[in-house]
């Protein structure tokens, strides 16, 4: 339960006049202020979530339109249908795109997670030279404008014969995903108590054994959520695929891009609903991992 001082942390506490006890507003202006604040926050949340929520019912539209038809509003069962879901599931192009997305996503994630975790371990070592500079370089793919990355790899990889290959996309996506791993693992390591390692060493554990038996289990949630970030980054990436990928590297976002630019069919909305569900699953997993990692590190103490 909440402790007493927390009462003052409620939004709108600035609406509490100094002379009165918390929670008993004295005149309507202040109260109005608090309502206004709450309304503003709620509007903010609506702005964040409404676009995503609106897609869900519209994906069941029986008509090829993007508005709620009168039938839908009357809850007429004929106005609702699964035809766009049928279209997505039965279209070979989408299943091929899914295979490509998974293939490129998983391969680049494995690469990014392995290299990124090693690098984060190195960066966390107190004796790491030029740490800030190296970190800045390793993180830079994340903040470089994606169009520049895409054009750069388009010119360079094409010259190496990696244009229109899965390998080229995997390399590029791994570089884009690695910063996420570095950041999350570094964050986990910041809470990591190095005395545990020394204790293990004093008990006779060698460096490899110390890493695999002691350190890795403790930072595993960080590694795993870093991997999820890297996968999501690849799974959602379209610009590099647009420039570097070809017909046989069409991914889900690439296929969606074509769909949005050429012809918005509600079939895309059905796909979007799948992707939203995917996002929620990943999000809950990451949150669960974060809590686990926090509690694992607490329990060491």
Q: Which stretch binds another protein (CB under 8 A): 50-58, 75-83, 194-202, 213-221?
A: 50-58
Give residues 59-78 in contact with another protein (rule: CB under 8 A): 65-68
Q: Which of 139, 197, 205, 220 binds another protein (CB under 8 A)?
A: 139
Tokens standing for residue 167? 């390998």
How many Cα atoms sit within 13 Å of 233 on the Cβ side? 28
Is 230 a binding residue for another protein by CB under 8 A? The answer is no
Tokens standing for residue 282? 């990943």
Is 97 a binding residue for another protein by CB under 8 A? The answer is no
Total of chain residues touching another protein, rule CB under 8 A: 129
Question: Could you give the C-alpha distances from 54 to 43, 49, 117, 269, 297, in angstroms and in order?
Answer: 15, 9, 39, 10, 40
Is 282 a binding residue for another protein by CB under 8 A? The answer is yes
Strand partners, 80: 61
Q: Which of 79, 106, 220, 276 binds another protein (CB under 8 A)?
A: 276
Could you tell me the end-to-end alpha-carbon distance of the chain, in angstroms, rounded to an integer?
24
Q: Which of 98, 106, 110, 146 binds another protein (CB under 8 A)?
A: 146
Tokens standing for residue 61? 């539209």
CB of 152 to another protein, least distance (A): 4
CB of 246 to another protein, least distance (A): 5
Write the DSSP symbol of residue 214: I
Is 258 a binding residue for another protein by CB under 8 A? The answer is yes
Question: Is 237 in a helix, a strand, or coil?
Answer: coil
- Per-residue 3-state assignment (H helix, E strand, C coil) for 266-291: HHHHHHHHHHHHHHHHHHHHHHHHHH
Question: Could you give the C-alpha distances from 102 to 106, 122, 289, in angstroms and in order?
Answer: 6, 30, 22
Is 220 a binding residue for another protein by CB under 8 A? The answer is no
Is 275 a binding residue for another protein by CB under 8 A? The answer is yes
**Pick from 253, 255, 269: nearest CA to 85:** 269
Q: Which stretch binds another protein (CB under 8 A): 76-84, 193-201, 234-242, 293-301?
A: 234-242
Q: Which stretch binds another protein (CB under 8 A): 79-87, 160-168, 197-205, 212-220?
A: 160-168
Is 5 a binding residue for another protein by CB under 8 A? The answer is yes
Tokens standing for residue 25? 């507003």
Q: Which of 256, 292, 296, 297 binds another protein (CB under 8 A)?
A: 256
Is 154 a binding residue for another protein by CB under 8 A? The answer is yes
CB of 301 to another protein, least distance (A): 20
């Amino acid at each position: 339960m909440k402790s007493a001082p927390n009462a003052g942390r409620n939004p709108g506490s600035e609406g509490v006049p100094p002379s009165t006890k918390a929670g008993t507003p004295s005149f309507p202006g202040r109260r109005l202020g608090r309502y206004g604040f709450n309304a503003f926050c709620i509007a903010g949340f609506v702005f964040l979530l409404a676009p995503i929520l609106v897609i869900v019912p519209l994906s069941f539209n029986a008509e090829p339109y993007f508005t709620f038809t009168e039938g839908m509003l009357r809850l007429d069962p004929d106005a609702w249908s699964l035809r766009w879901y049928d279209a997505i599931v039965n279209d070979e192009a989408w299943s091929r795109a899914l295979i490509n997305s998974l293939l490129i996503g998983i391969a680049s994630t494995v690469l990014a997670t392995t290299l990124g975790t090693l690098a984060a371990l190195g960066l966390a070592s107190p004796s790491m030279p030029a740490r800030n500079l190296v970190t800045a370089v390793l993180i830079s793919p994340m903040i470089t404008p994606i169009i520049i990355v895409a054009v750069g790899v388009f010119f360079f990889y094409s010259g190496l014969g990696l244009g229109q290959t899965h390998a080229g996309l995997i390399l590029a996506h791994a570089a884009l995903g690695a910063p996420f791993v570095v950041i999350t693992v570094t964050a986990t390591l910041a809470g990591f108590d190095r005395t545990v390692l020394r204790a293990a060493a004093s008990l006779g554990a060698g460096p490899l054994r110390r890493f695999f038996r002691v350190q890795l289990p403790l930072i595993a949630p960080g590694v795993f959520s870093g991997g999820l970030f890297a996968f999501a980054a690849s799974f959602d990436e379209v610009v590099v695929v647009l420039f570097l990928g070809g017909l046989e590297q069409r991914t889900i976002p690439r296929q969606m891009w074509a769909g949005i630019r050429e012809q918005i069919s509600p079939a895309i909305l059905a796909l979007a609903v799948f992707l939203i569900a995917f996002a929620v699953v990943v999000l809950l997993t990451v949150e669960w991992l974060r809590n686990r990692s926090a509690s694992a590190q607490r329990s060491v103490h």
